[in-house]
Structure 1
Amino acid sequence: MHCSYFDANICRSCTRMGVEFSRQIAVKQERLERMLAPWKPAWLAPCTGPESYFRNKAKMVAGGSTAAPTLGILGAGQEGVDLTGCGLYEPAVTASFEIVREFIRRASLTPFHVPTGRGELKHVLVTASPTGQLMVRFVLRSTESVVRIRKHLPWLREQLPTARVITANLLPERKALTEGAAELVLTEEELLPMPIRLDDADVLPLFVGPGAFFQTNSTIASGMYSQARAWMAGLEAAGLTHARVWDLYCGVGGFALALASPGRRLVGVEVSAPAVEAARRGAETMRERAGEPAGGAEFFVGDAAAAVRDLGGVPDVLVVNPPRRGLTDLAPWIERTAPRYLIYSSCNPRTLVTDLERMPGYRVREARLMDMFPQTDHMEAMVLAERR
């Protein structure tokens, strides 16, 4: 893949731009194998997807002026740099940019100017589902422009009929954040359907709401959920029955719902209330499907370390998908209470290694590279570990 922004030194975020894709994968695989060498796992083939047009979410900094807005990043002098032609975004995301830009002009939304601290519109966040439907969020400094957004909303919905969820997010502080805590939903729907097709052709009825985490690469998300399901099937084939499964840091319920099945007792825990709401919506949709019960999946809002005490007992299979800092206080609990199996999905292999070192009672049976972000050095991984 080649990029005109990269070649012109406008944006250098993709540090491996221009490197043959197969070579990128090989380098990542070699690095990951070195990091996990002490555990001697069996290696599965890397999970890869398209090298371009793969990002389902755009986090665009608003810059320029009301008459000539830019959507992209901040460049020299903290001025806006337009990146609407970036080749990483899914086509549905890219197709929305020009309409959103015209909406900014119509609604007289003044882009926030970092050097002076003036203006209202800080970011535009666009998320696309595999069906092409969109969630569009305008991140604002205050409610000053919400009236104008509402006034021109019919035009936006007419021009961008795929926009199922539209919101105004409030970020009054001058902080290096993408969004604030307050959200004004401007449409009837609050959740974006995010159906993910798995390797066995099943479709997970996932939903994503404003502020809820979801993997940026839908293809790799499918691979992750499929891998967890395949590992679970293998454990049951080897004799594990009526498994008690806990999915900690469950997000919108992707792993949990992929593993939901009659005969399994499944609990998902996530600190984000909007994410838990979305997970419950997905579970209810599964229950409504003819012949597809959700396997008794339940979801709760809570901190993972506190939840394991509140839930009581020990699961047969523990699924964890922690943030970049890793398991922190949870690793000692896992080592002490000894769930039989551990499925660990990691967005930071360095903390994965640290956590495994803190859990010497586990051996890593299998590992797999998950290439969530092509054109970069970023690696994600999944491991299946078993109590020794």
Structure 2
Amino acid sequence: MKYRRAAILDWEVSVLAVGVPPAATDRSFVGLLREAVDAGVNLVDLGWFPGMAEHGPWTDLVREALADGYRERVRVAVNVPPTLAVSRAECSAFLGQLAAALDLGRFDLCIVGGVDRVVWGRLREAGFSSWAGSLVEEGLASALGFYLCDDLQVLRQVLAAFDGWAVCKTRYGFFDHLRSRPGSTGVRFAAEQGLLVVVAEPTRGALAWLEGAKTAAVVPQALLEALGVDAGRGDLGAWALRWAWDDPAVSTVVVDLLPGSDWKGYLGLADTTTPRSLSIKELTSLNHLRDYLTSARPAACPACHTCMPCPEGIDIPRVLDLANDVAVYGAVENSRASYLMEGHRATECTACGECEADCPRGIPIIERLTQAAGLLDGTR
């Protein structure tokens, strides 16, 4: 296992981290997590999903997996949705309840989820920066971080408002790094500040999508063959990991631990990865694949934000992005979990039309938001 240093935490983190999704309720999960830790993984990211603090199969298995000395060998991270992070009392109660259910004592990393310009505005109004440090002082978490879903400008604002940050988690992958925020510039800026840079969703549902019928229709076979992912050779998820690790600013990459995933293969890659090791030919092939996948998106939103701000407070680019993930990758559960965690409310669209009037690409935003609400609110 390779490790990279996070300056503020004064810690060497494994380049591969374990993600624990809501679906991790099978008995095999205990053995899989322990196998990963035995192989050198030292970060477990619990993420967030509704009801996770309630006792049930998920909490029982996580608690069991971290027993017998495994808890002491890893640092455990949890996300707190912005709907809870705006309240000191609710945030503290959530962390305390979940830590008790998992028998953790405290969380090593507490990460405020879904931070974009809208969410950060709400957190500012709630005085988050004035009381965030108390989460550490009260023993609920050892360090604080945020899951950034916006650009470099917002990243700078978040860092300037509170000097207690130690972690920046963000989405960063070759499928969408040109569209998603903060992109390579923001990732490198965060690393320069000494933050632990955690990359989430590096594969973006690529494996499930690649196995579907859409692949042959959208991606030329020659391109798949060039990457070794044609019909049974190679693994697009492995390429996604290699791409993220190629950037020296990335500290670690979180991959959900699920039965059937190629975790042993990923652990093998984590033993050999080095920054700046991808060839020009490999990077070019990945860029071509990204272009083909992008062409399959129903809403061709470049996240230029000319439609913002929405009078109803809807983060239009982000909601369209999550809906696109469902259409292209079939990532319904992941997209819905992100939608809920980030506190989106597409159902509050009043069809005023201001966004469509400002959109330089003429995207039928009102129609797309209605569709997104049906997909992500679970109303259909």
**TM-score (structure 1 length as normaliser):** 0.27
Question: Which structure has more strand as a fraction of its residues?
Answer: 1
Larger relative contact order (CA 8 Å, sep ≥ 6):
2
**TM-score (structure 2 length as normaliser):** 0.27
Larger Rg: 1
